[in-house]
Amino acid sequence: MPNLAIAFGAVLIALGGLTFVITGAAAPTSLIPAAFGVLLLGLGLMARDAGRRKTAMHIAAAVGLLGFLGGAMGIPKIILHLEGEVVQRPAAAAEQTIMSLVCLAFVVMCVRSFVNARRSMTAEGARPVR
Q: Quick one: pLDDT band at residue 116, thresholds 50, 70, 90?
A: confident
Please write the tens of the pLDDT for every residue from 7-47: 999 999 999 999 898 888 777 888 999 999 999 999 999 99
Q: d(Cα 87, Cα 104) in Å, to the nearest integer?
A: 24
Pick from 6-10, 105-109, 119-123: least confident = 119-123
Gyration radius (Cα) of the chain, Å: 17
Note the pLDDT of residue 44. Answer: 94
Pick from 30-34, 61-65, 84-88, 100-104: least confident = 84-88
List C-alpha distances in Å: 71 to 91, 92, 97, 108.
Answer: 13, 10, 6, 16
The model carries a pTM of: 0.81
Q: d(Cα 113, Cα 109) in Å, to the nearest integer?
A: 6
Note the pLDDT of residue 130. Answer: 52
CA neighbor of 60 nearest in space, from 48, 75, 71: 48
- Most confidently predicted of 4-13, 20-29, 80-89, 116-125: 4-13
- Vertex 58 angle, CA 3 and 73, to 5°: 90
